[in-house]
Amino acid sequence: MSETTLLEIRGLTKYFPFRPTFFSFRSKKYVRALDGVDLSIQRQETLGVVGESGCGKTTLGRTILQLIRPTSGHIIFEGVDITALSRRELRNYRRHMQMVFQNPYSSFDPRATVLQSLAEPLRTHTKLRDEALIRRAQELLEQTGMPGDILFRYPHEFSGGQLQRIAVARALALNPKFIVLDEPTSALDVSVQAQIINLLQVLQRDLKLTYLFITHDLSVVQHISDRIAVMYLGKVVELSQTDTIFTGGVQHPYTRALLSSAPILDPELRRERIILPGNVPDSANPPTGCRFHPRCPLAQEICTQIEPDLMTTGDGHWVACHLVASNHKEDN
Amino acid sequence: MMAAPLLSIDKLHVQFRTYAGVVHAVNGMSFDVRKGEIFGLVGESGCGKSVTGLAILRMVPHPGQISAGSILFHGEDLLLKSKSEMQAIRGGRIAMIFQDPSASLNPVFTIGNQITRVIRQHLPVSRDEAKERALSMFAAVGLPDPENIFHTYPHELSGGLQQRAMIALALSTGAELLVADEPTTALDVTIQAQILVLLAELRDKQGVSILLITHNLGVVAETCDRVGVAYAGSIVEMGDTEDVLYHMKHPYTHGLLAALPHPSRRGQLLQAIEGNVPNGLALPSGCPFHPRCEHVMDVCREKKPELVCLGAEHLVACHLYDEQRS
């Protein structure tokens, strides 16, 4: 693992068992939320993860932080495989990795004051108490653009944007290196979304943070990410530099369709729309071969049988598609 | 002059009396929806766009009250209609669809059962005729295998198919106006694209007029003919989609568009509008946008600006344009 890599994910899978019907006690089935994800995240970069609902992007974020234990696979954080750690050992690593959730209204205990919410990680992981603790809490609030005198107020007294700032303050409490941002602006209005995105970018620069930014909003991910991973049914189908993806370097047919279906304000940026037929398949019964083949406009015989691997086409661009792979071979 | 509008809302006020005080959700909202057009009503949460949609069908929930204004449909004021007259219009001539289709469909009846009930409520047809009509509506909204869909329960369908079924149900009685409140917000982008194409098709083929309520400016840009931007319960700017989105006049519209990420601004900070959307309990005096406005003047704090005509179709409510009043 090179010096610049903060986190490496190898063959990560997460299967959630479920009973197909209430009475089928024996026959267990599995929802394959993550099915073999390989990614590496560099220090101080923002890796954007995009995909439609049910593609496993939220499960990915939670599994990396070990909020959900994976079914198999490894997560290597600064050279240590954190999937192999006991709960006690893991606790020390938690301070380096934090999370901000989508809905700021439900990520605070409604009966806890701002101080209580901010103090909890500090009490658990540091020796700060009393006045030093309050000073640290105030410092965190000011860092995220909130006044320091709101410590004794309750979550319901704030708007969504203000609460999201407090959630960011809480995530920063232990000076983490890595933050998973799970749709942090999706519940906010456009004018407030811009404030939060700016805040996140300033903090990243000042505190040298690394972000995993999960979202379904393509214009936001384009703005904030250095690299983008596109997920479909529990797999990464394309991984590339942001610029490559948005300047016509897209190679996977799914990414192309996804980009073309987002409504775009600026008429000069509009692409010809590719309307995908059908819906995202059930991840308990993914299609054989390439998971995208039933909806793919370019599907061929091979796609129905063999699942394509994520292969590099050079320049840090990875694609899982038979067509791209065969074109690339011909070129060389 | 344009054809007479199908729906004309004039200085509508809706209030909610709560323990905390009177919430002014809609404050003098005025706009028209013309025959065969898609009119977009955009704004951020709390700007009164959904309440306006509900007010058109007289479905404002308790403790809300329509306290002033008029809503003319074919020139007749809906606010003066009796309950039974309103019942015939609601679902018959004006239909509404909502953000979450799974919450709008009844989970214990089949789709077919629900749609035939609506049809027979409004039209004098037999059960078989109603079914026939339902099946042709399913085909019109692009539902695969209509006969099969007729016998399914809502939970068996995906979100996109549920929304299609809702649209079929809403238009099954030949409604002239469809009020669509965030119809694609709960859907994925690839499915959203399918539904937006469907709405445009229905307008072209069946001549349905659509009031599209949304917060997504991209959706507006790609589907609407005209658009009204709402802030704190009233329209601040209205006109052809192109004029409003690409030649905007109001500082709020300007700020809203500038706050969106754009490829040319990558790596830079976004231009956020400072502050928060005002809450309806304590609206600012004068122009409701003045505390957040860059161009604020003394008059803005005292007097609420009226909609002023700039060019044929472009209306703006802002004191910056007072002199150009024609």
Q: Identify the structural domains of chain A with CATH numbers, from first to last.
A: 5-96+174-249 (3.40.50.300)
Q: pLDDT under 50 in chain A at which residues?
A: none
Interface test mutation site (partner A, options B42, B196, B227, B260, max chain A beta carbons within 10 A): B260
**How many C-beta neighbours within 10 Å does residue A22 have?**
6
Cβ distance B283 to B212 under 8 Å? no
* Residues written for chain A: 332
Average pLDDT over residues B5-23: 94
pLDDT at B278: 85
CB-CB neighbors (< 8 A) of A194 in chain B: 259-261, 270-273
Q: What pLDDT score was predicted for residue A2?
A: 67
Residue-wise DSSP of A225-292: -SEEEEEETTEEEEEEEHHHHHTT---SHHHHHHHHHS--S-GGG-----PPPS-PPPTTSPPSSSTT
Residues in A lying within 8 Å of B, measured between beta carbons = 52-53, 159, 161-162, 189-195, 197-198, 201-202, 216, 218-220, 222-224, 242, 246, 257-258, 260-267, 269-270, 273, 275-276, 279-280
- pLDDT at position B1 is 42
Neighbours of B303 (CB within 10 A): 13
Interface test mutation site (partner B, options A102, A190, A220, max chain B beta carbons within 10 A): A190
Q: Which residue would you say has higher pLDDT here, B268 or A137?
A: A137
**Chain B contact set for A216 (CB, 8 A):** 188-189
Measure the CA–CA gap between A7 and A218, rounded to whole angstroms: 24
What pLDDT is recorded for position B9? 96
Residue in A53, A189, A194 nearest the CB of B45: A189
Rounded CA-CA distance B22/B106 in Å is 33
Provide mean pLDDT across the span B293-303: 93
pTM: 0.89
Which pLDDT score is estimated for B202? 93
Tokens 């909890």 correspond to what residue? A120
CB contact set of B298 (below 8 Å; sequence gap of 6+): none
Chain B residue numbers with beta carbons less than 8 Å from the beta carbon of A276 are 190, 194
Put simply, the answer to whether B260 touches A267 (Cβ < 8 Å) is no
As a whole number of angstroms, the distance between CA B199 and CA A82 comes to 50
Residues of A in contact with B262 (CB under 8 A): 219, 223, 266
Tell me which residue of B1, B2, B4, B8 sits closest to B211, measured CA to CA.
B8
Count of A–B CB contacts within 8 Å? 110
Residue-level pLDDT at A1: 54
User: Would the CB atoms of B190 and A216 count as touching at under 8 Å?
Assistant: no
Q: Burial level of A200, CB count in 10 A (0-12/13-18/19+)?
A: buried
Q: How far is B326 from chain A (nearest CA, A)?
A: 30
Do the chains contact at A189 and B245, CB–CB below 8 Å?
Answer: no
What pLDDT score does A53 carry? 84
In chain B, which residues have their Cβ closer than 8 Å to the Cβ of A222? Answer: 261, 263, 266
Instruction: Give me chain B's average pLDDT, please.
Output: 92
Residue B260 at interface with chain A, using a CB cutoff of 8 Å: yes
Query: Does B260 sit within 8 Å of A265, measured CB to CB?
Result: yes
Task: Note whether A82 and A66 are within 8 A (CB).
Answer: yes
Amino acid identity of A6?
L
- Using a 10 angstrom Cβ sphere, with 0-12 exposed, 13-18 middle and 19 or more buried, the burial of residue A307 is middle
SS3 A47: strand
